């Protein structure tokens, strides 16, 4: 499963990229607003920091303007992935862009039927929002399982990019279901490394090692 970080914060992206475990980045208009940065400028910086796809979202609601915005965004860098909303105009834009070989992430997916439409429109990624699904009294992970089932039935190549992840359990369940990508806030990625028994174990080994009075030569 690929790991994407869901942020437009350059310091956070650098920190995650340094782990060597980062496969891509997703942004959205809210995350750009939170960063307080110029959209074009910060997107270029992010694209320079990671080799994998960087999702940059169009803000227009009609197909013609979406196409014009996508044209501007895809000139930022080769690894830009155009993010479009799951609407008729968004999917028309997706179909057109992917036919030309442009990567497209269809976002704001909340049903398996919507994911089916995104796959038929040739989406590179579909982004079902599990956290927001849970917030509305539904089970976000059931949605991921249904999409996996449908995509496998028909051998769709669209990658399931689990979005709106709020905790490590969402990540674990995504991996068990066989989702292709998880995009996570930096805090969730950091949380994946943590286990109280790992910390306790290190504490014990360090204490016992000190008792030996030895060192491991490092040069």
Q: What residues line the site for ligand E4P (CB under 6 A)?
A: 6, 26, 28, 107, 127, 129, 131-132, 163-164, 183
CA 74 to chain centre: 18
* Closer Cβ to ligand E4P, 50 or 218, answer by number: 50
Cβ 75 to ligand E4P, closest distance in Å? 22
Measure the CA–CA gap between 67 and 9, rounded to whole angstroms.
26
Cβ 122 to ligand E4P, closest distance in Å? 19
* Closer Cβ to ligand E4P, 121 or 126, answer by number: 126
* Closer Cβ to ligand E4P, 28 or 124, answer by number: 28
Helices (DSSP H) in the chain: which residue ranges? Answer: 10-18, 29-35, 39-49, 63-74, 88-99, 112-120, 130-135, 140-154, 168-177, 186-193, 196-212
Is 68 assigned a catalytic role? no
Cβ 150 to ligand E4P, closest distance in Å? 20
Cβ 164 to ligand E4P, closest distance in Å? 3
Structural tokens at position 133: 């699904």
Q: 128 Cβ partners below 8 Å, 6+ apart?
A: 109, 110, 115, 140, 143, 144, 147, 160, 161, 162, 163
Measure the CA–CA gap between 113 and 168, rounded to whole angstroms.
26
- CA nearest to 61, candidates 28, 34, 93: 93
- CA nearest to 50, candidates 76, 75, 18: 18
> Of 44, 83, 120, 194, which residue is the catalytic one?
83
* Closer Cβ to ligand E4P, 43 or 183, answer by number: 183
Partner residues linked to 125 by β-bridges: 105, 159
Active-site amino acid positions: 83
């Amino acid at each position: 499963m690929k790991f994407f970080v869901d942020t437009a914060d350059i310091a956070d992206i650098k920190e995650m990229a340094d782990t060597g475990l980062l496969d891509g980045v997703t942004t959205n208009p809210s995350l750009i607003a939170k960063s307080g940065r110029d959209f074009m400028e910060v997107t270029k910086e992010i694209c320079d920091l990671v080799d994998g796809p960087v999702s940059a979202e169009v803000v227009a609601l009609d197909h013609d303007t979406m196409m014009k915005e996508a044209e501007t965004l895809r000139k930022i860098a080769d690894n830009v992935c155009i993010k479009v909303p799951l609407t008729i105009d968004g999917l028309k834009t997706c179909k057109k862009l992917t036919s030309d070989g442009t990567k497209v992430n269809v976002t704001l997916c909340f049903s398996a039927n919507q994911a089916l439409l995104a796959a038929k429109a040739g989406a590179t990624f579909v982004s079902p929002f599990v956290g927001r699904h849970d917030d509305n009294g539904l089970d976000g992970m059931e949605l991921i399982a249904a999409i996996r089932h449908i995509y496998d039935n028909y051998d769709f190549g669209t990658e399931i990019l689990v979005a709106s992840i709020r905790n490590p359990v969402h990540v674990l369940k995504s991996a068990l279901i066989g989702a292709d990508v998880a995009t996570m806030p930096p805090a969730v990625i950091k949380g994946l490394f943590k286990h109280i028994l790992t910390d306790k174990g290190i504490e014990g080994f360090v204490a016992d090692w000190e008792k030996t009075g030895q060192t491991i030569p490092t040069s």
